[in-house]
Amino acid sequence: MTGRRLVLATRNEHKVQELRQILADLVEELDLEIVSAAEVDGPDVRETEVSFEGNARLKAVALAEATGMPAVADDSGLVVDVLGGSPGVFSARWSGTTGGVDLPRADRDRANLRLLLEQISDVGEEHRSAAFVCAAVLALPDGTVDSTEGRVHGAIIREPRGDNGFGYDPVFVVGSDNDGNDHGRTLAEYSDEEKNAISHRGRAFRELAPILRKRLSE
């Protein structure tokens, strides 16, 4: 089947472009058009679950039901071992709000990052291990749901480095052996292509690609 549309549960055009890059081969093979929730007037869904997979499922199912199209959603975040897996699903809002009002994204990212570094400031390098986790979910209008997960392991450094990233990217060193971990690059020091090749989101969606191929060809 060709000429299919796949709607992504985000209004962030950067994430749409990122997914188009990750799934480029599949897009060409299936003549697949990837669109954002904003382009199809999709619903806003509150992330009320306590797992990445649960939140991604909520968004994908709601979008598929509302649009009648196959829908993909993801939820991702940072899990820090010494914090018992936090910030986890609360990664994007770890620092809360100011006066009950959400901060602009860049300000919120800085606040989240600053709070995280303060919380583990006294933790030695050997205990600063962490991982980025992403759950990706495909939901079809007939109720079929599939999910995958991607992880990238590393460690949290003490000072941000790099400009090509967002969120916690500037303090996350990929694949660190926790031995004086400043020798590695942070995700914010990777190019977009390099990051897509190893990131948690890239891994989750590459795992989802053969499932997409099967479901959208049926």
Within a 13 Å sphere around the CA of 78, how many CA atoms are in the beta-carbon half?
Answer: 29
**Can you tell me whether residue 26 is helix, strand or coil?**
helix
Beta strands in 105-207 (DSSP E): 129-139, 145-156, 172-174
* Residues 174, 75: Cα–Cα separation, whole Å: 20
Tokens of 145: 């749901």
Active site residues: 75
**Is residue 5 helix, strand or coil?**
strand
CA distance 70 to 211: 12
Separation between Cα atoms, residue 216 and residue 44, nearest integer Å: 25
